[in-house]
């Protein structure tokens, strides 16, 4: 069967991912304060509920990945639009802490099965090894989720209040998200991992001829075993999400501690989005000719380099740090989708990726609190933590080797001399 056209699939998934991120991950930044004020709770409690949602999403990720491996992405993503709509409506109806946390728990279920990991698994399910360009494409579109989501949430809050904003986002999931995800191509039968020896054995039994022997070349020195590669990638993704979430929550304040004014910090922090998109365009063009491991290594080095410059130079280097951080984060977001595909292949992709992202989601949940405490304590020197984590991630990526290096070759069976 010919794979469905990527262009319209990317456009639909990119649009629905923009909606999903804008109405969940980027929602508290605009609505947390009015929400807390109206419900009579402290603003940190709203962010605590958001952290609970992130932990729930971590637990649900592997299950969603297995469902996409089995049934394809269309039914799963349509279901998450309904979950997003229900959780947003529940949030708009909340009257106290219990309702607040209940709505965010449901939101966590939707996030665990409806954000990038689910979209990447959907693309791999449709296009197999050829999904790298499509993965980059949806991150290019959804890279503007904060650019779209923050102003739209703020506008709806001014017009209708924070409850009306939640209802507005819920309506968009029903009126826009459900149809777009419902028009995604239908996936073929469930993808099952099949080894070369198994295929050879099956061929031999079908023809009555002895199956050719398979001689496996030893893995090159330094090549990571599948288990080791999974652990290393899980660590890299956890570091990436910890740093990106910490910066998303505290970047303007971090820039202020380095010596910029509030107005300058806000303006410079806004460079993250464009830097991410430009870096993804670069990955889509020049870097796509490189192995994804190499582009991921370059991206992992960007934040530590920027952090060193900011700590040494101070406020005048704020824009340099912001652009380097944004560029690195933009490419590493793509790497979360492409590296598991390149290293392990398309079979079982959704379940494997969902499992690898569990530590990342947990790290993301605690990042704002931990980095905020460190920033309060030592100021801009808090960047030592994220810089060292970034260097550790770079080291982990250097250890990895492409699965293609562990090749196999077939040798003819020598005739029995008897």
Burial class (CB in 10 A: 0-12, 13-18, 19+), 349: buried
**Does one domain contain both 55 and 130?**
yes
CA separation, residue 387 to residues 98, 241, 301, 384 (Å) = 38, 13, 9, 5
Nearest to 20 by CA among 120, 115, 126, 106: 115
For residues 201 and 120, the answer to whether their CB atoms sit within 8 Å is: no
The verdict on pTM exceeding 0.85 is: no
Neighbours of 399 (CB within 10 A): 12
Mean pLDDT, residues 91-101 taken together = 94
- Binning pLDDT at 50, 70 and 90, where does residue 401 land? low
**Does one domain contain both 159 and 261?**
no
**Does one domain contain both 251 and 397?**
yes
Instruction: Give the pLDDT confidence score for residue 77 in this predicted structure.
Output: 93
**Does one domain contain both 159 and 238?**
no
Q: Which residue range(s) make up the domain with 148?
A: 6-182
Residue 10 lies in a domain: yes
Residue 287 maps to which CATH number? Answer: 1.20.1250.20
**Does one domain contain both 236 and 325?**
yes
Q: What is the C-alpha separation between 306 and 323, in angstroms, rounded? A: 8
**Does one domain contain both 113 and 238?**
no
**Does one domain contain both 241 and 147?**
no
Residue 128: which region, alpha, beta or left (left: phi > 0; alpha: psi -120 to 50)? left
**Does one domain contain both 284 and 166?**
no
For residues 121 and 65, the answer to whether their CB atoms sit within 8 Å is: yes
pLDDT tens-digit readout, 172-186: 999 999 999 999 888
Token reading at 60: 């649900």
pLDDT tens-digit readout, 250-301: 787 788 888 888 778 878 887 887 888 888 887 766 666 777 788 888 889 9
Instruction: Give the pLDDT confidence score for residue 357 in this predicted structure.
Output: 81
Instruction: Give the pLDDT confidence score for residue 288 in this predicted structure.
Output: 66
How many domains, in total, are found in the chain? 2
**Does one domain contain both 150 and 265?**
no
Q: What is the C-alpha separation between 133 and 135, in angstroms, rounded? A: 5
Least confident of 36-50, 75-89, 128-142, 370-384: 128-142
Residue 189 lies in a domain: no
**Does one domain contain both 40 and 158?**
yes
Please name the residues in contact with 380: beta carbons below 8 A apart, sequence gap of 6 or more: 254, 257, 258, 310, 311, 314
Mean pLDDT, residues 91-112 taken together = 94
CA dihedral 152, 158, 163, 168 (to 10 degrees): -40
Instruction: Give the pLDDT confidence score for residue 409 in this predicted structure.
Output: 41
**Does one domain contain both 166 and 244?**
no
Q: What is the C-alpha separation between 14 and 168, in angstroms, rounded? A: 20
pLDDT top residue among 3 and 77: 77
pLDDT tens-digit readout, 210-236: 444 333 344 433 445 778 888 898 899
- Binning pLDDT at 50, 70 and 90, where does residue 408 land? very low
For residues 281 and 331, the answer to whether their CB atoms sit within 8 Å is: no
pLDDT tens-digit readout, 148-201: 887 888 899 999 999 999 999 999 999 999 999 999 888 765 444 433 333 333
Residue 100 lies in a domain: yes
Token reading at 311: 């700590």
Instruction: Give the pLDDT confidence score for residue 150 in this predicted structure.
Output: 76
Residue 214 lies in a domain: no
């Amino acid at each position: 069967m010919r794979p469905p056209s990527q262009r319209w699939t990317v456009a639909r998934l990119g649009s629905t991912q923009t909606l999903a991120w804008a109405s969940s991950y980027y929602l508290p930044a605009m609505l947390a304060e009015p929400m807390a004020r109206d419900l009579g709770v402290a603003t940190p409690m709203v962010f605590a509920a958001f952290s609970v949602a992130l932990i729930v999403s971590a637990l649900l990720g592997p299950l969603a990945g297995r469902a996409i491996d089995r049934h394809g992405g269309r039914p799963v993503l349509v279901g998450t639009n309904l979950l997003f709509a229900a959780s947003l409506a529940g949030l708009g109806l909340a009257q106290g802490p219990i309702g607040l946390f209940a709505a965010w728990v449901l939101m966590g279920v939707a996030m665990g099965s409806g954000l990038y990991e689910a979209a990447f698994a959907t693309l791999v399910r449709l296009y197999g090894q050829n999904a790298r360009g499509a993965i980059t494409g949806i991150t290019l579109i959804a890279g503007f989720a904060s650019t779209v989501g923050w102003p739209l949430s703020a506008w709806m809050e001014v017009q209708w209040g924070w409850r009306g904003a939640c209802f507005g986002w819920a309506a968009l999931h029903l009126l826009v998200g459900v149809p777009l995800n419902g028009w995604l191509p239908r996936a073929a039968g469930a993808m099952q991992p099949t080894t070369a020896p198994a295929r050879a054995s099956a061929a031999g039994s079908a023809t009555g001829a002895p199956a050719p022997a398979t001689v496996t070349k030893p893995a090159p020195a330094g090549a990571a075993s599948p288990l080791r590669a999974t652990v290393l990638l899980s660590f890299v993704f956890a570091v990436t999400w910890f740093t990106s979430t910490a910066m998303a929550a505290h970047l303007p304040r971090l820039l202020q501690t380095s010596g910029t004014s509030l107005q300058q910090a806000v303006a410079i922090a806004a460079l993250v989005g464009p830097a991410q998109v430009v870096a993804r365009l670069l990955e889509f063009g020049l870097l796509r000719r490189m192995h994804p491991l190499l582009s991921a290594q370059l991206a992992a080095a960007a934040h530590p380099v920027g952090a060193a410059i900011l700590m040494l130079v101070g406020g005048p280097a704020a824009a340099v740090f912001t652009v380097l951080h944004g560029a690195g984060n933009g490419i590493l977001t793509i790497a979360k989708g492409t590296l598991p595909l390149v290293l392990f292949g398309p079979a079982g992709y959704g379940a494997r990726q969902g499992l690898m992202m569990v530590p990342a989601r947990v790290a993301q949940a605690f990042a704002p609190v931990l980095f905020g405490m460190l920033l309060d304590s030592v100021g801009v020197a808090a960047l030592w933590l994220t810089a060292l984590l970034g260097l550790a991630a770079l080291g982990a990526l250097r250890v990895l080797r492409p699965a293609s290096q562990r090749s196999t070759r077939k040798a003819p069976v020598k005739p029995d001399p008897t």
